[in-house]
Amino acid sequence: MCGRTACTLAPDEISRACSYRSRGGQRRQPRWRDGDAEKYRPSYNKSPQSMSPVLLSQRHFDKSAPVDECVLASMRWSLVPSWFKQDDPSKMQYSTSNCRSENILEKKSYKDPMLKGQRCVILADGFYEWKKMEKDKQPFFIYFPQTRGPGQVKREDQEDTMGSAHNMGNLKTACSREALAEEGEAPGEWTGWRLLTMAGLFDCWNPPGGGEPLYSYSVITVNASPNLQSIHDRMPAILDGEEEVRKWLNYGEVKCLDALKLLQSKNILTFHPVSSLVSNSRNNSPECLQPVDLHSKKESKPTAGSKMMKSWLMSGSPLKRKGPNTCEIKDHESKSQTQKSTGSLQQWLHGANKKPRIN
C-alpha cells in the first residue's frame, strides 16, 4: 500500500524536475494549471486528503493540445468518483487512497476512470512504509536511487545554488532564482532530487449543489518487489523513466490493456529507516526524512553533509518558498543572494553514516 509520501519541492522546482522531451526532441517544462500551484503545499509528511502534485496529459483539459503535451495539477489524494451523490466527499464510506492493479477493471470507482483514459502520474520525493516488528512498527522512507553525476553530487564545501526565471505572461514579476549552470549540464536539465513517479487514476467530481469541481486520485499498487517484501507486501506501481511516463499518460494512443502492462513490480527502489515521528501525520519537519540507527533508535550521528542539508531545510524550507507566480522581487535584496537547491537532499542521503539499502 501507500499511505504517506513526502514532496518537498517548491512548485517551480517540480516543473523543472519533471521536464520531458517532446516528439520533436525539444526539452519542455510542464506548466501548472491556472491556480493549481497555490493549492499545492510542500510537505515532509503527506497523508490522504491532502493536495499533491500530479502530471497528466493536457488533452484532458484541452482537446486541441498536442498529444505529447503534459501539465501539472494539484489533486486531492483519495479518489472521489464522478458519480458520488453526497454533498461532501468526507461522507464516503470506503477508502480510495490506493487502488490494487488487479482490481482496476472490477470496481466501478476505478474501472470508469481507467476506461476513460484518466491516467496520471503522482509525484513525490518518495513514500513511507511501515514494517511490522515484534512490538511496534518501523517506518522506512523509499525512493529512487539518486544518480551520482555532473551537477548532482558536490563537495561539502561547495554551495548549491538554483532558481529559474519564468515568463509570467501578462505579469511583470518573476522569481529571480536562475540556476547557476554547472559544467556539463544541458540547458533546462534538472540536477536535483529525482522525483518518484507513481502510476495513478484520477476523476473529477462536481458538487451536487454547484461549486468548483474536485479533482482527486488514487495511487495504483502492485505486489512488492523482492527487496521491499520484508517491509510490506504491496508497493506503488512505479513508472521508471520518461518513456514509461509518456506511455502511461498517452491515453489516446496507448489503450487501456496496453497501459495496464506497465503496472509491474519493479526491483529498482532504495530505502532507509526513519524516525517514528512520521507516524503522526501532524509532524511535518525535516526529521521525518532523517535516517536513524535501528540499533539505538536514535538519529544517526550527523555528518557535514547532513548538517548542511538540515540547515538548508530549516532556512530555505519549501513550506516558506513560493511558486513562480507568487514570488515577489524586492529591490533591496542583494543580487548575490541565492537559495540552496534540493541537490543537497541527495548529497545528504548519500553522505549519511547509515547508508541507504539498495536492491
In whole angstroms, give the CA distance from residue 242 to residue 181: 23
Q: How many helices (H) and strands (E) does the chain have?
A: 7, 20
pLDDT for position 284: 94
pLDDT at 314: 54
- Give the pLDDT score at 101: 96
Number of domains comprising the chain:
1
pLDDT at 339: 36
Choose among 330, 278, 317: nearest CA to 131: 278
pLDDT of residue 211: 87
Distance CA(103)–CA(13), nearest Å, equals 34
DSSP codes of every residue in 178-197: ---PPTTPPTT---SPPPEE
pLDDT of residue 342: 40
Phi, psi of 222 (to 5 degrees): -135, 175
The pLDDT score that the predictor gives to residue 259 is 96
Q: What is the pLDDT of residue 114?
A: 97
What's the CA gap between 9 and 192, in Å, rounded? 10
Distance set, CA 276 to CA 62, 78, 205, 287 (Å): 44, 24, 35, 10
Asked if 204 is an active-site residue, the reply is: no
Separation of first and last alpha carbons in the chain: 19
Among 89, 52, 59, smallest CA distance to 73 is for 52
* 243 is annotated as an active-site residue: no
Read off the C-alpha cell for 258: 496496453
Name the active-site residue from 99, 129, 175, 288. 129
**What is 214-272 written as a DSSP string?**
EEEEEEEEEEPPTTTTTT-SEEE-B--SHHHHHHHH-TTTS-HHHHHTT-------EEE
Q: What is the CATH number of the domain that holds 19?
A: 3.90.1680.10
Burial class (CB in 10 A: 0-12, 13-18, 19+), 320: exposed
Asked if residues 70 and 250 have their Cβ atoms less than 8 Å apart, the reply is no
pLDDT of residue 155: 28
The range of the structural domain enclosing residue 326 comes to 5-358
What residues of the chain score a pLDDT lower than 70? 1, 148-188, 297-359
Q: Of the listed 2, 18, 99, 175, which one is catalytic? A: 2
Q: Dihedral sign, CA of 309, 315, 316, 321?
A: positive
